[in-house]
Amino acid sequence: MPPSKPLPCSDEFATPEEYVEELLEFTSTSETWQILCGGIHVVDFFITEPGLFYAALPAEWHEFLLSQDVMRLLDFFVRDDPETAIFEDGQTPPASLVAYIKAIRRLALRRDLAAPGADSTLPPLTRTVSVGMNPKKTHEVRRFADYVSRLSTEMAAEATEDEVTHFVDFGSGQNYLGRALASAPYNRRVVAVEGRQRNVDAAKSFDTQSGLAVKPKILRNKKVWNRILEAAGPNKGDPDALAAAIKQVVGDGDEGDNFRKIASDELSYAAAEEGKGLLQYVSGRLDDGDLSEVISRIDRGLTTTEAEEKEQQRLKLMAVSIHSCGNLTHHAIRSLVLNPDVHGVAIVGCCYNLVTEKLGPPPAAASALSRPTLQALNGRALRESERRDPHGFPMSARLSTHRGHGVRANATARMMACQAPQNWTRADSALFFTRHFYRAVLQKLLLDRGAVHEVIHDPARADADPATLGPFDKSTSPLAIGTLPKRCYAGGFAEYVRGAVTKLTTSTEYKKFAEVMRETMGGLTDEEVEAYEGRFAPRKRELCVAWSLMAYSATLVEALMVTDRWAWLEEQEEVDEAWVEAVFDFAQSPRNLVVVGLKKRKEESGGGGDGEHGKREES
């Protein structure tokens, strides 16, 4: 059941509370950490002189960091013993940098599997069940299906009661996990909750290949069908092209129904049988943890005879999810206390950048630092923090009230927490370092030509002398360009700029901005673009080093997010046990921490009280 420690922190900490206290103390008082985790953005890297590298990092770090190969620095950050690391040129890292690296290393949650085991020791996924899965997804599904199934069995054995009747998969996507749980050897009943109909349609298509769903039999004239496929040509997989071909061959009559594509809602799922699994889909968007509507639609798997003998089967649900995005993780965790039928949760979160914020911007006097904890610095991040979403981060009272004003993590910090610098290769790093460099130089070009403008963070200083403004007093108006075609990155900076300008002036997504772009960027020559590249190319390493330090530092942002979810469960009277542990190999799936919560058992006499089943003492 639970691991030896409810939080996978360093053994240096005697208790989880000691760890949480030190994590909050460091992240609330380290100015360097706050700057690297949410205080700067790579887009604004070159808008000030001498640049954010020099403004963000202590002066005694500059020479050493810029003298080292970036991949060697990554080893220093994430793998080497900082005290004894050796560098080829004989340089010694500054003592304050060593102390910083050690602090991050000490406070980061441990990500190694407690019981690694080879995937080959787990029940295999048949070829039909694993259809559509890449190696990463196969690894995740095999490990997590085995994990939650064992968790259910162990819960029942310890409580001498029935096992979980249904697993409720929050944000099931294409239902890879549910399909594995419903199939042998698990044969579980699964309720897949998904808001995107295209995902449900794709999942049901996979279900037919695994044998969990059956298509209705339609008698077709084989000769006519072959003529339809011939008319559709190479586009026969396109529903619209196939429909046009059907109309061309058989016309508008009822006969055409025999050749149409079978809709997902026409598939049939076998009735539940003893020892067999069952899949059910509930379409809809979950805006909180209240599952009453979902529960009301659950197929309880009773035969007619059983239903007559027993008016209603007792439900015992477990909410599960692999990589539920953003606030969906919060909804899934809250479902444990909002629904009497939910007895356990096991949730692996991801996409921290999509989580909303609960507390709003911090008051000016919230910290002794010039920037209160993870304060939003650019316009978009500031607007997000002002939403004050009650479903957002932080969930727990512990983090919401720390130092009287609570812990905050802006969009930049949460995005950085999605990185995994331990897994970066030299080839991967070269690609995204180039992308970040191009984007930062483009922002400087856009600023100089008036396409974007400076944003002064303190409105009271909007008219101040620019010479009096420091690098953290301003940023630039946010502009998310998104992904460009690969040729824009492979063809050099000029090709990248052309691709970006084309997108910003022609895409309907930017129609309000298109005219500004045409006015300010019109007449831009390749010579001007190349001059910008030449001017900043010698400083690319500044960005690479800073980005690497940002990603490494942000491991503590993820620690804050995960610790907050665990702390919320610990604060709930209804919760018996709560813990966090690694369930995937970090090298294959870096968002690998599952948050588990188990509800207190009620007395069989039905008095409704918690009786003797209070929270258990830690072992």
Give burial (CB, 10 Å; 0-12/13-18/19+) of 419. buried
**Chain-centroid distance, C-alpha 117:** 25
Whole-number pLDDT of residue 607: 40
Right CATH for 135-200+273-302+312-356+571-599 from 2.40.30.10, 3.40.50.150, 3.40.50.300, 3.40.50.2300: 3.40.50.150
Higher pLDDT, 301 or 483: 483
Q: How confident is the model at residue 158 (pLDDT cuts 50, 70, 90)?
A: confident
Percent of the chain scoring above 70 in pLDDT: 84
Cβ atoms 475, 377 nearer than 8 A: yes
Other Cβ atoms closer than 10 A to 483: 9
How do residues 16-28 score in pLDDT, each as one tens digit? 999 999 999 999 9
**Mean pLDDT value across residues 410-426:** 93
Whole-number pLDDT of residue 255: 53
**Mean pLDDT value across residues 73-93:** 92
Q: Which two tokens stand for residue 575?
A: 């919760």
Higher pLDDT, 224 or 41: 41
Helix, strand, or coil (residue 426): helix
Whole-number pLDDT of residue 480: 86
How do residues 523-555 score in pLDDT, each as one tens digit? 899 999 999 999 999 999 999 999 999 999 999
Contacts of 491 (CB under 8 A, 6+ apart): none
Highest mean pLDDT among 209-213, 232-236, 424-428, 460-464: 424-428
Whole-number pLDDT of residue 616: 41
Whole-number pLDDT of residue 366: 43
Other Cβ atoms closer than 10 A to 351: 18
Whole-number pLDDT of residue 611: 35
Give burial (CB, 10 Å; 0-12/13-18/19+) of 348. buried
Whole-number pLDDT of residue 233: 84
Whole-number pLDDT of residue 157: 82
Domain residue ranges in the chain:
7-107+359-390+393-570, 135-200+273-302+312-356+571-599
> Does the pLDDT at position 608 exceed 50?
no
